Amino acid sequence: MNKITYGLILGGILGIFDGFTSWFTPAVRPQLMGIVLGSTFKGLLAGVLIGIFARKVHSLGLGVLFGLGVGLLFAFFIAYMQRNYYVQIMVPGGLVGLIVGYATQKYGDSSTASASLT
């Protein structure tokens, strides 16, 4: 599996999980499905970007830093649109980016050829 696919899948899964945790906040429970969809899209997009970065730059430190930055940035946009829940959205969002950044650096095939040959 190449790094972009790896980032896409991991970002998507963690995004879904991240969205569903909003169930624990009763005030936003009515918008749960919208939050899950938004969070999943955010995770997928962040995953692809982080995966592309991992394919270009082979550095665990930079990968983790880039993941953290992308995760925080996307989470900030979501929180800004809500005008609320900055900490609740940004902290886990940043962590998701960090995990995807680490995973795409550490695992996944960096060559495009292997993906097309297999």
Partner 1 sequence: MNWLSDEAIARLRSAGAEPDLAGTRYRLIERIASGGMGSVYLAEDAMLGRRVAIKILDVPDSSGDLAARLQREAHILASLEHPGIVPVHDAGTLADGRVFYAMKFVEGERLDRFSERASPLPSRLRIFQRICDTVAFAHTRGVLHRDLKPENIMTGPFGEVLVMDWGVARILRANRISTPAETVHDQACEGPGGFAAGSLRTAPKTAHGAVLGTPGYMAPEQARGDVEHLDERADIYSLGAMLQFLIAASFRSTQTTPRVLTAIARKAMDTDPAGRYASASELGHEIARYLDGLPVRAYPENALQKIARWVARYRLAIVLVLTYLVVRALLIFWFRR
Residue nearer to partner 1 on the CB measure, 13 or 115: 13
Q: Which stretch binds partner 1 (CB under 8 A): 18-26, 33-41, 49-57, 110-118?
A: 18-26
**Buried b / exposed e across 75-85, counting CB within 10 Å, b at 16+?**
beebbeeeeee
Site string for partner 1, 21-40 (x = CB under 8 A): x--xx---------------
Quote the least distance from Cβ 47 to partner 1, whole Å: 15
Token digits for 106?
């550490």
Contact 11, 48 (CB under 8 A): yes
